[in-house]
């Protein structure tokens, strides 16, 4: 569906230059931001006008690590399920996401990559699908967590090229354990292709991580989870993420994967511009407690049925932001980049997404002061609206 020019008025607009009170945001027919200013911008009676009712108008939330949600799964390899993922997360404030794979037989990964690339071309109806996060199969057996042990692989140049080709060049982030056989070469190959390379499900030492940063790693996958922990004699991947300025650290801010005190430690150490809030949401996110395939969900916690490992989350981006504010005591303005600008940068789309600026995509959310979501706008189109707001 094509966008139509519109004014959004009477809003508190969060921009990189500061907060615009009683602001107006103008969207053009191409679905980009034409102007941001005061009430004087809403002058053309031929253009639709939406009254924000004094609510906050924030840049849309970007999630670079989503496996599923609302009963739908990226690894299904179908457009219908990818579209379902996009609609579920749009209803919780996400305006753009990376479809994230898991370790599986190579043919299944390739099918998921092809389906995601095709869905990008076709367009989904909820949050925008802006690329792919390849998580696995080049991971540490020791730190694999819920990833399939039987399907872990040793990377080769030919196989990596095969995966990049299956994804039609749409892999934006690749998670690799750099210490495995062929791992460092894989880091160099992905990085040479312009892909953000992330250390994840890795048992690397601190020294190996320093070498990996030199080879091209600039990101860590769900920091503190699925990695060698911080120890005073061996800082591991967790310590490297805290100490090495080149690394941006993903964070599942649900209070389950990472203790609230460790959340605050990460933000205090790295700063909001080097923390990337993610959900790591899986198929059963948004569904009732119960058993789903090989996992069990109870009160927001998702484990393998044998209880041996956490298996993703039921988190949403809007809740991740609320939690981050509560755990750190930071202001919304201070934390907002971690779910907007930072993921846009890490996914390589900051030229068009991640902040409210003239010329960028009109991706934004309308929330109240308690961060209750009222509407999600993607490319100038409403893809989710709360019933009470619609009325």
Q: What pLDDT does residue 1 have?
A: 58
Average of per-residue pLDDT across 58-73: 98
Whether the per-residue pLDDT at 390 is higher than 80: the answer is no
Superfamily of domain 61-346: Metal-dependent hydrolases (3.20.20.140)
Nearest to 374 by CA among 363, 385, 383: 385
More confident residue, 390 or 194: 194
Q: Which pLDDT score, from 0 to 100, does residue 323 have? A: 98
Known binding residues for substrate: 146, 225-226, 233, 257, 310-312
What residue segments make up the domains of the chain, in order of their start?
Answer: 6-58+354-390, 61-346
Please give the model's pTM, rounded to 2 decimal places: 0.97
Contact between 114 and 99 (Cβ < 8 Å): no
Q: Which helix (H) or strand (E) holds 65?
A: strand 61-66
Number of helices (H) and strands (E), helices first, in the chain? 11, 21
Q: What percent of the chain has pLDDT over 70?
A: 98
Summarize the confidence of residues 90-113 as an average pLDDT.
98
Mean pLDDT of 328-353: 98
Task: Give the rounded distance of the alpha carbon of 125 from its chain centre.
Answer: 18
Block residue for tokens 């967590």: 145
- For residue range 366-386, what is the model confidence (pLDDT) as tens digits? 999 999 999 999 999 999 999
Q: CA angle 280-231-212, nearest 5°?
A: 60
63, 280, 361, 363: the catalytic one is 280
CATH architecture of the domain 6-58+354-390 equals Roll (2.30)
pLDDT for residue 388 is more than 70: no
Reply yes or no on whether 165 is catalytic. no
In this predicted structure, the answer to whether residue 215 has a pLDDT above a threshold of 60 is yes
Q: In what order do the strands lie in the sheet with 171-176?
A: 61-66, 94-100, 128-135, 171-176, 196-199, 217-220, 248-252, 275-278
Annotated binding site for Zn(2+): 135, 201, 222
Which carries the bigger pLDDT value, residue 335 or residue 1? Answer: 335
């Amino acid at each position: 569906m094509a966008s139509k020019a519109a004014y959004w008025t009477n809003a508190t607009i969060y921009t990189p230059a500061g907060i615009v009170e009683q602001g107006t945001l103008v969207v053009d027919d191409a679905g980009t931001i034409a102007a941001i200013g005061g009430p004087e911008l809403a002058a053309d009676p031929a253009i639709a006008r939406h009254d924000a009712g004094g609510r906050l108008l924030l840049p849309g939330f970007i999630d670079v690590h989503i496996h599923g949600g609302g009963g739908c799964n990226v690894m299904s390899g179908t457009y219908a399920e990818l579209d379902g993922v996009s609609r579920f997360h749009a209803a919780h404030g996400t305006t753009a996401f990376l479809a994230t794979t898991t370790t599986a037989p190579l043919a299944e990964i390739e099918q998921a990559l092809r389906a995601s690339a095709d869905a990008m071309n076709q367009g989904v109806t909820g949050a925008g699908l802006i690329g792919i996060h390849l998580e696995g199969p080049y991971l540490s057996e020791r730190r694999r967590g819920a990833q399939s042990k039987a399907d872990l692989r040793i990377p080769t140049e030919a196989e990596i090229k095969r995966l990049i080709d299956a994804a039609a060049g749409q892999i934006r982030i690749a998670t690799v354990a750099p210490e495995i056989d062929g791992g460092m070469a894989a880091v160099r190959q992905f990085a040479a292709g312009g892909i953000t390379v992330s250390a994840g499900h890795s048992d690397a030492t601190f020294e190996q991580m320093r070498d990996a940063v030199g080879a091209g790693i600039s990101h860590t996958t769900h920091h503190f989870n699925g990695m060698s922990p911080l120890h005073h004699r061996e800082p591991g991947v967790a310590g490297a993420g805290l100490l090495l300025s080149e690394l941006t650290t993903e964070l599942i801010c649900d209070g389950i994967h990472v203790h609230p005190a460790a959340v605050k430690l990460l933000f205090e150490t790295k700063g909001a511009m080097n923390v990337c809030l993610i959900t790591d949401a899986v198929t059963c996110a948004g569904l009732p407690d119960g058993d789903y395939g090989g996992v069990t969900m109870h009160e927001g916690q998702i484990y393998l049925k044998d209880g041996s490992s956490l298996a993703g989350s039921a988190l949403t981006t809007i809740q991740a932001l609320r939690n981050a504010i509560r755990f750190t005591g930071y202001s919304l303005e201070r934390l907002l980049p971690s779910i907007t600008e930072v993921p846009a940068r890490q996914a390589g789309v900051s030229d068009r997404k991640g902040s409210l600026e003239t010329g960028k995509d009109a991706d934004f959310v309308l929330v109240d002061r308690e961060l209750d979501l009222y509407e999600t706008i993607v490319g100038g189109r409403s893809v989710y609206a709360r019933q009470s707001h619609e009325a």
